[in-house]
Structure formats: C-alpha cells, structure tokens
C-alpha cells in the first residue's frame, strides 16, 4: 500500500540549532516527493520538491531535502532554525500522472528562543 | 485571482443539514483537488478534477459527499446530511505546470 510516514509528531529545537525532519514512503515506483509547511491559520506552502536528478534539493527559507532511494526516505533539513520556522511540516508523495498527494501525518515544530 | 480562494472560510452547521463549499482555483489551472484535514485522519485526498471531469473520486468517504466543477474553473463540494465526523478543514488545491497551490481552507463544524 502507498503510504508516507513521519515518525516524529512533535519536535522541539532551540533557535539557531540544526533541524532534520524524517520522512519515509512506500510507493510502487519512484514517486514525486514534496515538503509543505503549514503555519497556524495558513494554507499549505510548498517548501521543495523532488522529481528526478540530483538527490539533494534546495527549497525556500533555507530548507533542503535529500532523496535516498535505498532508504525510501526524503528527510528535510535546515542548518539553523529561526523562530519563524515554528509550524507543522508535511511530507507528501505525488502520483507522477495526476499529482494526487498522499500526505504524512505531519511533524509539529516548536522553536525555543 | 492571485491564489486559490475558498468560501466560506468557516461554516457551522447543524447535524443533518446539507452544506456547499466553494473553491475558485487559480485562473488557467486545469487540475483541481479537494483534501480534508481532520485531527484524527490527517490530510486525506477526496477528489481530483481534470477540467470538468473527475477521473479520481476514490477519496470521497461516502455517497453523502459529491463534487462538481463547471467551466473548468469553480468547484463545489457538497456534503449532504452532515454528521459530526464531517467536521474538518476542507482544502482545495489547483495545479498547472508551475506547481500545486492550496487555498486557506473551509473549516466546517457540525453541531
């Protein structure tokens, strides 16, 4: 079955610390992979996406993610977290034909001043 | 408009009533999606439109849920005989080659 797993429901980091949010997927073929962020009361904003090619992708707001086929993972990283990064982060796989998404359950990030 | 617009932003309805949720996609976007975000279920796909047709309705949870799209633009999600478990945020998204963009959602509360 197709699924996306985000094993960490909540993560707390100090401002300026590095961040890694985990995402593992189960999909029949190589899917399209996405990370979205949702701030309180806001819609989903695309941080970055992976379709093919270079397995390290850069996104907005200083985020990057690395696709590892052997581990079926697409972890999100940021070298230095800012207080404004506090939000909920969703990993998703997209069907290459329809772009229909399967989302993970999300990771809520708290940033300590 | 500049983004995906959904209305109303909030809707409170009594159990058993019908509700209609509206989505105005970004102009020119041919693909349109509805998702539901609820505490217990996370973000779930409901239905996908390509133009006015819906080749994938697999996420609609019951026959109380239906959706249509007219003129390749506006879409309406209708929930008949609402139940308390329908309480959720309903998100609409539209897509063109540049990417998929989400609206702010309609928060539906069934009391």
Q: pLDDT, tens digit, for every residue of A48-61?
A: 999 999 999 999 99
Helix, strand, or coil here: B50?
strand
Q: Confidence band (pLDDT; 50, 70, 90) for A29?
A: confident
Highest-pLDDT range among A8-12, B1-5, B39-43, B97-101: A8-12
Who's near B96: CB < 8 A, 6+ residues apart?
B26, B28, B29, B30, B31
Q: Mark which residues 24-63 of B lie under 8 Å from A by CB.
A: 31, 33, 35, 42-45, 48, 50, 55-56
Q: Do B95 and A99 touch (CB under 8 A)?
A: yes
Average pLDDT over residues B52-62: 95
Tokens of B95: 């897509």
Q: How wide is the angle at C-alpha A51 spanned by C-alphas A45 and A57, nearest 5°?
A: 65
Instruction: Give the closest-approach CA distance of A98 to chain B in angstroms.
Output: 8
């Amino acid at each position: 079955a197709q699924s996306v797993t985000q094993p960490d429901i909540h993560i707390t980091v100090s401002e300026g610390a590095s961040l890694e949010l985990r995402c593992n997927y189960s999909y029949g073929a190589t899917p399209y992979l996405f990370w979205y962020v949702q701030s309180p009361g806001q819609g989903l904003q695309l941080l970055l996406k992976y379709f093919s090619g270079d397995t390290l992708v850069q996104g907005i707001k200083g985020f990057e993610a690395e696709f590892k086929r052997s581990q079926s993972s697409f972890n999100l990283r940021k070298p230095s977290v800012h207080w404004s990064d506090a939000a909920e982060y969703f990993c998703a796989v997209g069907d290459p034909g329809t772009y229909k998404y399967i989302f993970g359950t999300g990771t809520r990030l708290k940033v300590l001043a | 408009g500049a983004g995906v617009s959904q209305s109303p932003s909030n809707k409170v309805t009594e159990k058993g009533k019908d509700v209609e949720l509206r989505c105005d996609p970004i102009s020119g976007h041919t693909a349109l999606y509805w998702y539901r975000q609820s505490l217990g279920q996370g973000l779930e796909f409901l239905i996908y439109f390509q133009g006015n047709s819906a080749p994938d309705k697999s996420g609609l949870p019951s026959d109380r849920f239906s959706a249509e799209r007219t003129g390749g633009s506006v879409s309406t999600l209708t929930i008949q005989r609402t139940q308390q478990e329908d309480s959720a945020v309903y998100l609409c998204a539209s897509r063109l080659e540049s990417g998929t963009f989400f609206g702010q959602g309609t928060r539906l509360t069934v009391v």
